[in-house]
Chain A
């Protein structure tokens, strides 16, 4: 990756080479169903466990199914504050944004991380546009989540073009990429490895740093037990993994689930 071009395209206040620690305002954007909610929850919980105050804003006002608001109890147990759309999960569910979001943008800082789980596509990012100018004036990161197996953004041109649409609607520029390629329960090491070119090509095309490749926790069983991290939930070093595992691994728990998974 070319360091100089990257510095030219990304404002200095949002320079970031590692996924963690998160910027005070961290926006998670991407195509519908690439795994934004699960990633947001992992980032929120890991950051809370590191001792910081964390607020997760469910900005998904496009789709009433499978979003952060469904996991309020779990987040509360982990000490993560959840800001959900008013009446989320009820039939009164409507595209409303909490009045607290403005306050939280001001409150975010070194010890208070505010994560936005943004709705899918440019349609979902429209809600972010309401706060675009204000966010731009604060230290922030906008992470574009990739999944090489997600229909309609498997083509590099499609994935980049969607990113540009999201940027246009939100009024913000992406500052980094997260390769969250997976096939749910069928994810194998080979699944991850096969997604590497896809993610690296998008990083090259967009001049954005590829901050992490997520490794679903259940996959650790496939790896050598001696290399399995025991206590850490977010290994920062790739030394935990065999050499062929992509760099910057970020271990994620699978929180988002269907009602029949016991």
Chain B
């Protein structure tokens, strides 16, 4: 058994990436992801890899594109405003079927926003990380251990489907310390016959490009890619269901807010309320299966987010009117408290109880009148 060490989320992401065989890191400093790049700058040279602080986020993501095209395991990291700058490059990577890992340690937005934790880039990450018809696999770890595990497996997933993968965390997770067991180092990246590494006149030359001069060919390429997205949607959704077996009030939250929601759910159970928590680990593909598992007992859903309500729309699409879906959150760097979430759960419980009591009263009243 490996030994436990104390690490910050940002450090665990960096160390696990190194252990997954990542040997190229290109970035540009921004709070609150600073330690990730700082850690890479210390450790990467010792592993014989390349750490480079680029002149901008845009330069960094294009370096990621280049290293990935040459078959390397490569990563970049930033925080919200910097991720917006990387959007163009991420779209180019998706359009050229290039694997790579992009980390977003979210802070408050829009604009420069603030430096405190936020989940306000949910919609950007899951629906529009770049222009064009594209999806990016998005992981939302909620512990330092899970950050380490996600960073380790993200490279395999990216290579398997030839797609950029995003790890979406926030300033709280990036900065906090927890005990973690690091994965074993590996150096076995899969064969990449498509990589532009020189053909030596032994094969036709490879081209990595997202430009198509004919509309038919571009449509064909995108449709082929969307078939791959269907496989991802079938095989890759992940979620953790906690106390949901008989849950009437199903809370859904990811990342740091899932830990707050979990505390609230435990308190609600202690107060006799049948509450449960769905914690999506993949945000795209969205784990609709986890919601379906709760539909039979759920009387209402509650999305808890550190934004003005973004994931709540995806929950509504899955629930499709079968139960009410409510939202509670804070934004701008304000973190919801477990007490606030508990109060919301209690209010929803009362509303359900109230309706049930009204229905029961109406029934009894009917009988009495008959």
A→B interface (CB under 8 Å): 32-33, 63-66, 91, 93, 147, 149-152, 154, 182-184, 186, 258-262
Contact = CB atoms under 8 A, between A and B. Distances in A.
Contact of B179 (A65, A93, A183, A258): A183
Given A149-B6, A151-B7, A151-B15, A64 B115 contact: yes
For the complex, would chain B's binding face be called helix, strand, loop or mixed by DSSP majority? mixed
A149 to B, nearest CB: 5
Contact of B5 (A65, A154, A258): A154
B267 A262 contact: yes
For the complex, would chain A's binding face be called helix, strand, loop or mixed by DSSP majority? loop
Contact of A258 (B108, B114, B176): B176
Given A64-B32, A260-B338, A91 B114 contact: yes
B251 to A, nearest CB: 13
Given A91-B116, A184-B177, A259 B260 contact: yes
Interface in B77-129: 108, 113-116
6 contacts: A63-B34, A64-B32, A152-B11, A258-B259, A259-B337, A260-B260
Interface string B170-199: 011001111100000000000000000000
Contacts of A260: 256, 259-260, 262-263, 338
The 9 A-B residue pairs with the shortest CB-CB distance, nearest first, are A65-B175, A91-B114, A260-B259, A183-B179, A151-B5, A260-B260, A260-B263, A33-B177, A259-B335
Nearest to B175: A65
B203 interface: no
Given A65-B32, A151-B15, A184-B179, A262 B6 contact: no
A151 B116 CA distance: 25
Contact of A66 (B108, B176, B256): B176
Nearest to A149: B6
A94 to B, nearest CB: 11
Contacts of A32: 8, 35
Interface string B277-317: 00000000000000000000000000000000000000000
A147 to B, nearest CB: 7
B10 to A, nearest CB: 10
B338 A147 contact: no
A32 B11 CA distance: 11
A83 to B, nearest CB: 21
A93 B15 contact: no
B93 to A, nearest CB: 31
Nearest to B263: A260
Interface string B326-350: 0000000101011100000000000
B337 A186 contact: no
A63 B177 CA distance: 13
Contacts of A63: 34, 175
B5 A149 contact: yes
Contacts of B5: 149-151, 154
B194 to A, nearest CB: 36
B31 interface: yes
B270 to A, nearest CB: 11
A66 B4 contact: no
Nearest to A181: B6
A149 B179 contact: yes
A258 B256 CA distance: 10
B115 A91 contact: yes
A259 B339 CA distance: 10
B8 A186 contact: no
Contacts of A65: 32, 171-172, 175-176
Nearest to B117: A65
Nearest to A34: B6
A89 B232 CA distance: 41
B115 A93 contact: yes
Contacts of B108: 91
B333 to A, nearest CB: 8
A183 B335 contact: no
A32 B42 CA distance: 14
Candidate in A150, A259, A260 with the most chain B CB atoms within 10 angstroms: A260
A147 B5 CA distance: 10
A1 to B, nearest CB: 27
A183 B178 CA distance: 7
Nearest to B176: A258
B273 to A, nearest CB: 16
A36 to B, nearest CB: 12
Contacts of A184: 6, 177-179
A91 B35 CA distance: 18
A149 B7 CA distance: 9
A161 to B, nearest CB: 12
B163 to A, nearest CB: 30
Candidate in A65, A152, A183, A184 with the most chain B CB atoms within 10 angstroms: A65
A66 B4 CA distance: 21
Given A258-B172, A258-B259, A150 B6 contact: yes
Given A151-B11, A259-B172, A259-B337, A183 B35 contact: no
